[in-house]
Amino acid sequence: MLQTALALIKHGLCVFPCRPRTKWPATAHGCLDASADPGTVKAWWTANPNFNVAIATGEKSNIFVLDADGLEGQEELGRIEARCGDLPKTLQTVTPNGMHYYFRWPGVPVRNSASRVAHKVDVRGSGGYCLSPPSIHPNGRRYAWSVDSGDTIAIAPTWLTGLVTDSGDTTATPPEVWRDIVADGVDEGCRDDTATRLAGHLLRHYLDPLVALELLLCWNAQRCRPPLPERDINRIVASIAKKEMARRDGR
């Protein structure tokens, strides 16, 4: 793992350790602690050679990652390519559940999102991260570099940049996406954005704000990895509720 981490930082990527066989950060501040300093990296993996290797996405490493989850995600991505054009050949990771596609940072904000681009197609951008080969997934399978991928990180096509930087409209989100969010939850990097979307969805459908808050707190505790502080959920729901009440009053 150490040699992989050192190789990644030589290519300009910032890394940090996750606990063995998990996606849980092994540092106090997760991806915010990511570093390209060889001394720091060596100290981390000397402390535990079995730590998984995580790459910080966003401006820190000048990349974003498209995550096609499972066969459904890859099929959805294929449909997008059929409409918009083929993705360029770029660095890819074969994950235990799908594929990661690496792209150079476009110079405009790219947020983390879950199924916003398409069903089962997630994005890792600012404040996000993804595991690198040869890390071990919680299910025991290893991540691996795709032998069919490019050996460099490509520039995203214009149509993809448009999709990953679009703020989106929660009212247009398909029902199956909401089911996935509730059933599967989200990892660090997507929690705040997804909680905001879920709060907006519930309140836009005229759910009482107190009920929405209780549902969000339960979802956060059971489905966010790791859960957000309760104060963050309170802040999100209060902010969305204020805007929704103003909308209902025509203000």
pLDDT in tens, 92-117: 999 998 999 999 998 888 988 888 88
Fold of 2-165: Prim-pol fold (3.30.2250)
- For 198, the token pair is 């879920």
The more confidently predicted of residues 115 and 211 is: 211
Q: Three-state SS for 73? A: helix
Q: How far apart are CA 208 and CA 221, in angstroms?
A: 20
| Phi and psi based region of residue 140 (left: phi greater than 0; alpha: psi -120 to 50; beta: remaining) | left
Confidence of residue 141 (pLDDT cuts 50, 70, 90): very high
Confidence of residue 214 (pLDDT cuts 50, 70, 90): very high
Q: Three-state SS for 59? A: coil
Q: Give the per-residue pLDDT at 174.
A: 62
Over the range 104-114, which residues count as b (16 or more CB within 10 Å of their CB) and which as e? ebbeeebbbbb
Q: How far apart are CA 11 and CA 2, in angstroms?
A: 15
What is the residue extent of each domain of the chain? 2-165, 170-248
Q: What is the DSSP string of 208-247?
A: -HHHHHHHHHHHHHHHEESPPPHHHHHHHHHHHHHHHHHH
Mean pLDDT of the chain: 88
- For 124, the token pair is 């890792």
Mean pLDDT computed over 213-227: 92
**53, β-bridge pairs:** 17
Q: How far apart are CA 17 and CA 15, in angstroms?
A: 7
Q: Is the pTM of this model over 0.85?
A: no
Q: Which of 206, 209, 201 is nearest to 172 (CA)?
A: 201
95, with CB counted inside 10 A (0-12, 13-18, 19+), is: buried
- For 57, the token pair is 């996405």
